[in-house]
Structures are given as structure tokens and as C-alpha cells.
Amino acid sequence: MTSLLQPYLLFVGDVSEPGFAKTALGLRDWAGPICVGEMAITADAVATGLPRLSARDAVAMGAKSLVIGVANRGGIIAPAWVPALVDALAAGLDIVSGLHARLATVPELADAAARYGRRLIDIRTPPPGIPVATGARRSGKRLLTVGTDCALGKKYTALALARTFAARGINADFRATGQTGIMIAGAGIPIDATVCDFTAGAAELLSPDAAPDHWDVIEGQGSLFHPSYGGVSLGLLHGSQPDLFVVCHQPGRERMLGSTAFAVPDVREVIDLTVTLGRRTNPAIRCVGAAYNTAHLSAAEADALLAAESARLGLPVADPMRGGAAFETLVDACLA
């Protein structure tokens, strides 16, 4: 992968919905020491809690790259962002994007990058030569995070599990499948940017044969139930062939992100459908628990909800970002 110059300035632009600023928030939470601040073009843009800086102020603090921290619907570069992005190039920053749209296709950015000698780096570029999936079983152990919807914790859960596995002395790798995960891990395949015939093949490539005791903890994408992104989720499920999966959910979210005409399914529905479809390439697939994003709840409310949901589902339910006994129980279940 192309080397990214650090530290980063995180661009949140004019995005006011936190779900569409997941790249900035993910880098804040998992790569905070290399993020000097955030850059916005409207006062109501999502706040990461980092200092709000201009491009020139960020350069004075050591920033080397402006990372577009937005993952909007369709992965577009909004025209309203362009003047600020040009200013960042003029200030001396590379621009790093995980969007579907290519930076160099915006004439103003291409011209400014050439003029100021800066790089335009598109993370969401699959490697060449991805094969068609074979469905053949591979050695090693695999865990996939799946979701009731988009942008609710699949990456965070996979990162937290991989980190905890390693802390327990387990041989484990986090396998990134989205732009933010790739920026954090330094490697991976942007699954939703692959040609659909090769999505499952990309997942096989991402998680190859491994030692019998090695775990690949694979970052999930989208939701099998999402009317826009379900195809990506299915290809990733078939290609990753998980032995175990963890369902990620945000309590209180009732409508699909970006597709509000559709309701968010119950966790039990996701478990049942994932098992049904996952058995195609791994007949032994099973759900080992659920990870809930309870950031909007108090500690007492979260503890009560997690306990109640664990009893309802008959599985461990935890918030990986809160940790504690519930999360350790989920980890125990994964490694049992």
C-alpha cells in the first residue's frame, strides 16, 4: 500500500451525521496519537473532540496529510469541499481519501496537487489480480463481524477482539475490509470497491491459509439486510468462511442508515440469516455473541441492557468499547 505521511489532519467537512463521519471517528479512537486535529467547513460539522484547525495551523503543528474523514452515501467528493481541499494542498498537505470518487478526477484538485507538488492518495483501490472465489476450505480460524446496519461498530468490534486475543497470547490478525480499517492497520482490501464477481475472491485473498491456531478477525461491511449494501455483505460472508461471527448492533436505531424506508432488523433475524447463508461455504458457522454500541447510554443503562439482551438471546452480549466482564465473557466464548 502507498505510504501515508503522518501525522494526520482529519477533514469532517460539512457532515453533521456521525454515521457518515465514521472514518474520522475511527481514526480518532484507534490512531489518536497520529491525529493533530480536525478541519470543518461548517460550524455544525461532526466534532471529533480534537482541536479544530485550519490547514496552515495543522501544518505548523506537524501535520503531513489531510485525511478525508467522511464516508458518505455513494462516496462522493462534495463540490462544497473543493476550496478547502485546495487550501490544504497549498498549505503543504497530501490528501488521503477512502471515498469511491477518485481525487484526481476533480480538476481543481489535480491542478493544485501538480502545482504544489503534493500527492492525491485513494485508499479505496483494490489490488490487481483478485481471483474468482473457489469456496474451498482454508486452514486457520476465522471470525467475522456482521451487522444489523451500517456504521454501528463492526470495525471497532473486530479491532477490540483482535487486540484482546493478542493480549491473551493468541496468534491473531485484524483483517481490514474498509477504508478506515486499512488506514488504521496499514493493509487490507476495500471490499466494497471490488467488482461484484470478485468480492468473495477478495475475501479469500484477504484471509488465506494459516496455522491451525491462528485467528483472522475480519472486519465486516454493511448488513445482509441493507437494501443498498447487502451484496457486499454476502460476498464477504461467503469468501471469509467464518467459523464464528459476532453480530453488531446499536440499540435504539430503528431505521437503516441512508435508507430510512427500511427498518433495522432484530439481532435474532441477523443471526438466523447469517447462519443460513454462511453454511454455503462453512457448514459449521455459528454465532458466538453480539456487540452493542451503547455510547448513547449511561453506564448503568448499558449494563442493564446488555444483561437483558444476553438473557434474551442466550448469548454473550457486550460493548467492546466499555470492556469489563461482559466483554471478557464474549472473548471467552470466541476462544472456547
- Topology, domain 8-122: Rossmann fold (3.40.50)
Q: What percent of the chain has pLDDT over 70?
A: 99
For the chain, what is the mean pLDDT? 96
- State the Cα–Cα distance between residues 195 and 201, nearest whole angstrom: 10
Give the pLDDT confidence of 134-184 residue by residue, as tens digits.
999 999 999 999 999 999 999 999 999 999 999 999 999 999 999 999 989
Domains 8-122 and 141-335 share a fold: yes
Q: How many CA atoms lie within 13 A of 206 on its CB side?
A: 38
Q: What is the pLDDT averaged over residues 222-228?
A: 97
Residue 1: pLDDT above 50? Answer: no
Q: What is the pLDDT averaged over residues 57-71?
A: 96
Helices 324-335 and 299-313: crossing angle, nearest 10°?
A: 30
The bridge status of strand 215-218 relative to strand 141-147 is: parallel
Q: What is the pLDDT averaged over residues 205-212?
A: 97
Q: What is the pLDDT averaged over residues 313-336?
A: 97
Domain covering 141-335 assigned CATH 3.90.1150.10 in the classification? no
- State the Cα–Cα distance between residues 198 and 202, nearest whole angstrom: 6
Global pTM reads 0.88
Residue 73: pLDDT above 90? Answer: no
First to last CA, the chain: 35
Residue 321: pLDDT above 50? Answer: yes
Q: Tell me if residue 246 falls in helix, strand or coil.
A: strand
Domain locations along the chain: 8-122, 141-335
Residue 15: pLDDT above 90? Answer: yes
